[in-house]
Structure 1
Amino acid sequence: MNKAKVKETFFGGLIRNNPTFVLVLGTCPTIAMTSTLSQAFAMGVATMFVLVFSNLFVSLLRNVIPDKVRIPCYIIIISTFVIIVQMVMRKYMPELYDTMKAFIALIVVNCIILARAESFASCNKPLYSALDGVSMGLGFTAALCLIGIVREFFAGGSFAGFAIPGFPVMNGTSASAFGFIVFGCLMALFNFINQKIENKRQEEYRKTLPLKESALELTEVQK
């Protein structure tokens, strides 16, 4: 197992290739399912479940699925796991399922899942593909929860359903338009911080170049 690839795959979906804030995928559930933290978390976990297992099975079957019908096959695989999610939520979380069942069904055509199946799982081994599903799923869940926390705080004066004493409810902040504003602000903040981290990493790498060149020159002299 390539440790560098494992590390890159796992942290890719969380930071560098975050599906919500960097790749800007899955915008529909991002806005529709983040009015509360509970909805955001449930949507994120459901999507992550489908991502992990669809990636895994696409990878396992990548040499069997004919290239001409790969997209319909991916959708069949994804649909199977979406149905499992629907059955579990309907059985154990009926109230939550009733508020978001339309968007659970739409996970089938979520562009994050189709994109990872096509661009990653179809050309990587099962372990890496499952890890990519975990990474992308965690990145998506974290982004949705962050947006959900902000929206619920301003629209309902609460956190995870618990009212915050003394905080006034702001009219209009429960609308989708406010959701887009929160989404845009958090996206800008995330990418600003991400760029600062990347610039610092590159600067540190440039500082090590003279040392590497000196070591290389010393090796050449010794030869």
Structure 2
Amino acid sequence: MASGTGEVSKKLKLYSNWRSSCSCRVRIALKLKGLDYEYIAINLLKGDQKSPEFLKLNPLGYVPVLVDGDFVVADSFAILLYLEEKYPQHPLLPKDLQKRALNYQAANLVSANIQPLQNLSVLGYIHEKLGPDEEIPLAQTHIRKGFAALEKLLENYAGKYATGNEVFLADLFLAPQIDGAVRRFNVDMSEYPILSRINEAYKELPAFQDAMPGKQPDTPPEARA
């Protein structure tokens, strides 16, 4: 459970999975904003996401799902924007319009062009149709393509973090994506100096590290950091 107190924040429930990078983005945001929440683990390998109870929350059957009182919102991008508007502490978006657009672009590059091609359902389909030996190469191909694009996108803007010297929305998408690329898919990060540098900076931030896959309540013992 994240740190923080308050009658309003106690209403928050996060349906999450330890290895889900989409869930990790939201966990980082909740920690940055100091919001207390109840962690509800969804075991994707056992099919918890297909249960009637979960499908009432998100008919698509994906994590994360955030419950705030009687309001339910699914999809990490939507959840993050909801949290940003309702809980303005530690803003996730810069005031500068162009820098804000850059954050949207980097975040969307991860969420729409990299992550979907490495998720469990896609890899399972590849496993079934093409064989298990094709899963990792497919994920690596799309991760490398996306990372190359991010290097070009951020080369004139990156500071200590993705879009300068403050943590913003893009960082919440990049941190779990880079972590997964290295730990799950054995991507060589030496080709991506900007991403490698900012990833080292993320390792200094408790809100990021506490949200990583290796430190969640449902993390298997063998995967704990």
> What band does the TM-score fall into relative to the shorter chain?
under 0.3
Name the TM-score, length of structure 1 as normaliser: 0.28
Greater percentage in helix = 1
Q: Which has the larger radius of gyration?
A: 1
| Structure possessing the higher relative contact order (Cα contacts under 8 Å, 6 or more residues apart) | 1
Name the TM-score, length of structure 2 as normaliser: 0.27
